[in-house]
Amino acid sequence: MKTNKNSLLPIALFLLCALLICFSAQAKDGALLGFTLAQKVVIPSLLPLLILFNLVQEITSQKPAGKFSKRLMRVLFHLPGCCFPTVLFGLIGGYPAGALLTASLYGDEKITRREACRIMRFNMSGGAGFIITALILFASVTAAAIICAAISGIFAHGENMTQSEFARPRNTADALNKSVEASLHSVLNLSAYIILFCAFQGILHISEILAPIIEITSGITNASGRLTLPQIAFLLAFGGFCVHLQILPVLKKIKMPYFKFFAWRLLCAALSFLICILLLRIFPQEAEVFSNFSGGVVRSTSINASLSVLMLFGSAVLIFDLENRKKQYI
Among the listed residues 126, 130, 131, 133, the one whose alpha carbon sits nearest the alpha carbon of residue 297: 133
305: pLDDT confidence band, cut at 50, 70 and 90?
very low
pLDDT bracket for residue 163 (50, 70, 90): low
Confidence of residue 61 (pLDDT cuts 50, 70, 90): low
Burial (CB < 10 A; 0-12, 13-18, 19+), residue 193, is: buried
Give 312 or 169, the one with higher predicted confidence.
Answer: 169
What average pLDDT does range 94-123 have in this prediction?
85
Band of residue 271 on the pLDDT scale cut at 50, 70, 90: very high
Please tell me what DSSP assigns to residue 294.
S
Q: Are 249 and 221 in contact (CB under 8 A)?
A: no
DSSP state of 111: S
Locate the domains of the chain by residue range.
Answer: 25-329
Q: Residue 11: exposed, middle, or buried by beta-carbon count in 10 A (0-12, 13-18, 19+)?
A: exposed
Residue pLDDT, tens place only, 201-234: 888 877 777 888 888 877 787 776 788 888 888 9
DSSP-derived 3-state class of residue 232: helix
Q: What percentage of the chain carries pLDDT values higher than 70?
A: 74
What percentage of the chain carries pLDDT values higher than 90?
A: 11
Residue 237: phi and psi, rounded to 5, are -70, -35
- Please tell me the number of Cα atoms within 13 Å of 194 on its side-chain side: 28
pTM of the predicted model, to two decimals? 0.73
150: phi > 0 → left, psi -120 to 50 → alpha, else beta; which?
Answer: alpha
Cα separation, 98 vs 329, in Å, equals 29
In this predicted structure, the answer to whether residue 157 has a pLDDT above a threshold of 90 is no
Q: Report CA-CA distances (Å) from 173 to 56, 102, 143.
A: 12, 22, 35
- Comparing 271 with 217, the larger pLDDT belongs to 271
Residue 133: per-residue pLDDT:
55
* Residue 113 to residue 194: CA distance in whole angstroms: 29
